[in-house]
Amino acid sequence: MRAANPSTTLGKRSSATFRQRLGQRCLSVAEGRRKTKGRHQSFTSACREHGAALITAMLVVALAATAASFMMWQNHLWLRQVENLENQAQARWIAHAAIQWGAAILDEDARDIDDESEKWAARLPPLTTEGGEVTGFIKDAQGLINLNNLVKNGRISQNDVVILTRLMIALDINPGSINALVDWLDADNEVTYPGGAEDLQYLALEPPYRSANRMLEDVNELYLVQGFNREIIRKLQPYVTALPAATSINVNTAPAEVLMALCSGLQMPDAVALIQFRGKTPFKDKTDFQKRLPQGVQVHDEDYNISSNFFNATAISRNGRAQLAYKALLERPGQGSTQTIWLKQIEE
């Protein structure tokens, strides 16, 4: 048996050792690469988590800021609403006080003659109040034609029908609707011909309603009466009123159109001349007025007067951003204090 060559054996051992070391080196390099890749993945994952947390925090801050801004806006809006309500309440009470002041002025006035040179007829100049101002004026309601005069003691008043007819003709209005107004005022359900209307006519409308069969409370109630439209009412409103009792026309305050309707045969130039005369010298009694009428002009004694019991007071009050206007009907009896019949808010 041949003996092994020592050199050959040594070479084989060296080769095996080299391969072993090379394998270990490769394994070490691979392990290092795996560890480096793991660390890189961990770093990337941590960055992503940090970015998501940052975005979430930013969203939370944005939502909190939006909510805070909305709450502040809501709070500001609420404060403005409270302030507006407070301003409106104060403006309302100031206007009411101004109307009561007007009533006190009427109480101080002499009641035998009422004309536009008296203290009550002067417009109240703007007065400064805490946070605003107030102004107002008083008008004689009996300087106008009282529509409720058409029916007196349950019967039609022909004199007043004639007066309203003259006014409507002067204003280029067809007077055919007067009978419908008479039916609206009288207590019965019998139609006044021609042109009258009672429940049967109004119930056929959409929506249906009944005839009032009572006095008008406001001139705007004419919108419900057959034959009266917006244009007719617009023309009539400066010259008519609705008072809670039968009244006569005050010739010391009536406009020219009302004087023409009151006096048979009176023409516009003569009516204007009467107004100019009373502006300097008010009519002191009914006889004085009749003396100033042109020849041939006639007027019924019971249809007019030189004093009044009913007045309209208007007050306009401003406080802060709120501005309100109120109108009242005041009754000043022959004796006693002036009373408020109604009070309502109106458009400025």
Instruction: Provide the angle, in degrees to the nearest 10, between the axes of the packed helices 178-185 and 158-170.
Output: 140
Q: Which two tokens stand for residue 170?
A: 């002067």
Whether the model clears a pTM of 0.85, i.e. scores above it, the answer is no
**Does the structure show a pLDDT above 90 at 299?**
yes
- Site of tokens 């009288």: 186
Task: Determine contact, residues 339/160, Cβ cutoff 8 Å.
Answer: no
The amino acid present at 48, given as its one-letter code, is R
CB contact at 8 A, 143 and 248: no
Residues 262-295 have pLDDT tens digits of 999 999 999 999 999 999 999 999 999 999 999 9
Phi-psi region of 194 (alpha: psi -120 to 50; beta: other; left: phi over 0): beta
Neighbours of 304 (CB within 10 A): 23
When pLDDT is cut at 50, 70 and 90, the band that residue 83 belongs to is confident
φ/ψ of residue 73, rounded to 5: -65, -45
pLDDT, tens only, 101-112 = 999 999 999 889
Name the band, by pLDDT with cuts 50, 70 and 90, for residue 66.
confident
Average pLDDT over residues 32-36: 56
Neighbouring C-beta atoms of residue 180, cutoff 10 Å: 24
